[in-house]
């Protein structure tokens, strides 16, 4: 038989018993929409958790610590980390708390800011780590004078040397009238210099000119530097520290490496893999993965429970398809016998029944997907969610159900497969009927 003939016969047989076909399809619709909606709730829960964690910090970021490890966290180790698969950028966060250097501004160096909040990083890592600029050009490697990128409120760290403590700084926060005073120093316009402080009278004082590299948008999830600190090229900051030691005749102790570094991974799915590789190198690490992983596991368990409950509906629908096809065989026994006598291939007869079962599954899947989108929209609009403690109210307009494209394809494929599997036994039963007995069947 030609494929067109098979399709025509399939559709004619399905429309012959409209009510029974409709009820069978309805079972598939209920099962398919239940599975899609349940899984979509899990997807929505997972996204909500990731958004919540993202507010706490970058999910693709790994912090490295070098506390008493046998391996030194130096530039060589950073190069090895940067060469790991899926690592986008890696940089040390360099600070030397033993040096005494100060940034000055204003006439006769009236205003000063201590440099203990200044951190040295690789310039190429600044943008990759997600720091945003309110203005300026950012860090530029190898510039002279030295470039500094300030935190949003770093200008308020400057103190007036002509005023007594307690009155020598400007508060960066609104007063009782909601007004914020301007800082003493305009970082964009005022001349800025860095000086190494003298520990001895015989020491030589070094001065470095500072170029304004910009002001960052305050984001405490990315560190205090975005608010009250500053960034410099790590090479520049090391040069300043070296000059400080030399000026004061201080012999630097054995280099134990950087105390801290940050690594950004290309995608959060690789964070655990990269973090494990760094730990194998002998370093301590921390990331949001330690929080995200248990939360994801909880979501998976809830999805499994919800999906299992929905699968029961689809299992009942599968029984309905099987029952419909078996009843169809009994009603069309004579027709099957006539087809065999006329010389129809056994595979054609099997194909007709499998095609009918598949059409019921696919048709129910299509309608089930449409129903799922409607239910998902209503859940999101009214904020109703069964994902929080298996019941709750999330607030109008919140996203509690998300149906990605892969879930639509999964629903259609699963419903169609259920139809084909359910129709397999009746189809084989049909081809095993004897032609002579079938013709005699009333």
Q: What is the pLDDT of residues 313-352, one digit of tens each?
A: 777 777 777 777 677 666 666 666 666 666 666 677 777 7
What stretch of H or E contains 285?
Answer: strand 284-287
When comparing pLDDT for 399 and 262, which is higher? Answer: 262
Strand partners, 121: 233
Which residues are paired to 94 by β-bridges?
A: 120
The pLDDT, as a whole number, for residue 44 is 83
Residue 396 has pLDDT above 70, yes or no: no
Q: What is the pLDDT of residue 334?
A: 62
* Cα separation values, 289 from 40, 232, 285, 328, 352, Å: 23, 29, 11, 55, 52
Whether the Cβ atoms of residue 152 and residue 124 lie closer than 8 Å to each other? no
pLDDT digits (tens, 9 = 90+) for 222-232: 888 999 899 99
Per-residue pLDDT at 138 exceeds 70: yes
State the pairing for strand pair 61-65/87-92.
Answer: unpaired
Tens-place pLDDT, residues 408-417: 998 888 888 8
Cα angle, residue 226 at apex, residues 224 and 231 outer, rounded to 5°: 100
CA angle 72, 78, 82 (to 5 degrees): 150
DSSP output for 361-382: HHHHHHHHHHHHHHHHHHHHHH
Q: Tell me which residue has tokens 């970082």.
A: 187
- Paired tokens of 430: 């049909």
Q: How many CB atoms lie within 10 A of CB 210?
A: 20
Confidence of residue 393 (pLDDT cuts 50, 70, 90): very low
Sketch the domain layout of the chain as residue ranges: 3-55+293-440, 100-120+130-233
CB atoms within 10 A of CB 83: 9
Rounded distance between C-alpha atoms, residue 174 and residue 181, angstroms = 8
pLDDT band at 390 (very low <50, low <70, confident <90, very high): very low
Confidence of residue 307 (pLDDT cuts 50, 70, 90): confident
Is 113 in contact with 159 (CB distance < 8 Å)? yes
pLDDT at 366: 92
pLDDT at 80 over 80: yes
- CB under 8 Å, gap of 24 or more: what pairs does 2-11 form? 6/348, 6/351, 6/352, 6/355, 7/355, 9/352, 10/352, 10/355, 10/356, 10/359, 11/359
Residue of 222, 279, 217, 224 lying closest to 84 (CA atoms): 279
- pLDDT, position 344: 66
What is the C-alpha to C-alpha distance for residues 1 and 5, in angstroms, rounded to an integer?
Answer: 6
| Closest by Cα among 78, 156, 91 to 119 | 91
Q: Average pLDDT in the 415-438 region? A: 71
As a whole number of angstroms, the longest Cα–Cα distance in the chain is 122
Pairwise CA distance, residues 271 & 264, whole Å: 9
Mean pLDDT of the chain: 80
Q: What pLDDT, on the 0 to 100 scale, is given for residue 394? A: 46
Q: Mean of the pLDDT values across residues 362-391?
A: 77
- Give 18-49 as a 3 state SS string: HHHHHHHHHHHHHHHHHHHHHHHHHHHHHHHH
Q: Does the CA dihedral 407-409-411-413 come out positive or negative? A: negative
Q: Parallel, antiparallel, or unpaired for β 133-136 and 207-216?
A: antiparallel
- Cβ contacts of residue 440 below 8 Å, gap of 6+? 337
Tokens of 375: 């239910």
185-189, 236-240, 354-358: which range is least confident on average? Answer: 354-358
């Amino acid at each position: 038989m030609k494929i067109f003939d098979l399709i025509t016969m399939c559709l004619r047989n399905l429309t012959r018993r409209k009510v029974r076909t409709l009820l069978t399809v309805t079972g598939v619709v209920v099962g398919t929409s239940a599975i899609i909606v349940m899984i979509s709730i899990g997807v929505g829960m997972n996204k909500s958790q990731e958004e919540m964690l993202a507010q706490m910090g970058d999910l693709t970021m790994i912090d490295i610590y070098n506390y008493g490890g046998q391996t030194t966290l130096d530039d060589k180790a950073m190069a090895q980390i940067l060469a790991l698969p899926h690592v986008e950028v890696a940089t040390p966060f360099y600070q030397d708390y033993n040096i005494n250097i100060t940034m000055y501004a204003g006439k006769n160096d009236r205003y000063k800011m201590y440099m203990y909040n200044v951190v040295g990083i690789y310039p190429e890592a600044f943008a990759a780590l997600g720091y945003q600029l309110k203005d300026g050009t950012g860090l530029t490697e190898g510039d002279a004078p030295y470039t500094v990128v300030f935190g949003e409120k770093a200008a308020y760290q400057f103190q007036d040397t002509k005023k007594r403590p307690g009155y020598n700084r400007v508060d960066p926060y609104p007063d009782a009238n909601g007004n914020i005073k301007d800082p003493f120093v305009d970082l964009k316009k005022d001349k800025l210099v860095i000086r190494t402080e003298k520990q001895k009278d015989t020491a030589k004082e070094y001065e470095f000119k500072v170029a304004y590299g910009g002001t960052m948008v305050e984001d405490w999830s990315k560190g205090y530097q975005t608010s009250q600190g500053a960034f410099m090229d790590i090479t520049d900051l090391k040069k300043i520290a070296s000059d400080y030691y030399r000026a004061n005749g201080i012999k630097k102790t054995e280099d134990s490496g950087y105390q801290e570094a940050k690594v950004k991974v290309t995608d959060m799915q690789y964070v655990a893999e990269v973090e494990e590789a760094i730990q194998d190198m002998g370093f301590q690490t921390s990331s949001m993965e330690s929080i995200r992983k248990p939360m994801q596991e909880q979501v998976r368990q809830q999805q499994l429970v919800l999906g299992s409950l929905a699968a029961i509906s689809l299992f009942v629908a599968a029984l309905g398809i099987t029952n419909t096809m078996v009843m169809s065989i009994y009603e069309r026994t004579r027709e099957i016998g006539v087809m065999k006598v006329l010389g129809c291939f056994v595979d054609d007869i099997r194909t007709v029944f499998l095609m009918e079962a598949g059409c019921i599954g696919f048709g129910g899947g299509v309608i089930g997907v449409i129903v799922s989108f409607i239910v998902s929209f209503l859940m999101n609009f009214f904020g109703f969610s069964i994902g929080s403690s298996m019941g709750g109210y999330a607030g109008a307009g919140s996203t509690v159900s998300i149906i990605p494209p892969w879930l639509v394809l999964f629903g259609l494929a699963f419903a169609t497969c259920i139809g084909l599997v359910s129709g397999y036994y009746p189809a084989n039963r049909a081809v095993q009927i004897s032609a002579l007995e079938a013709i005699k069947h009333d």
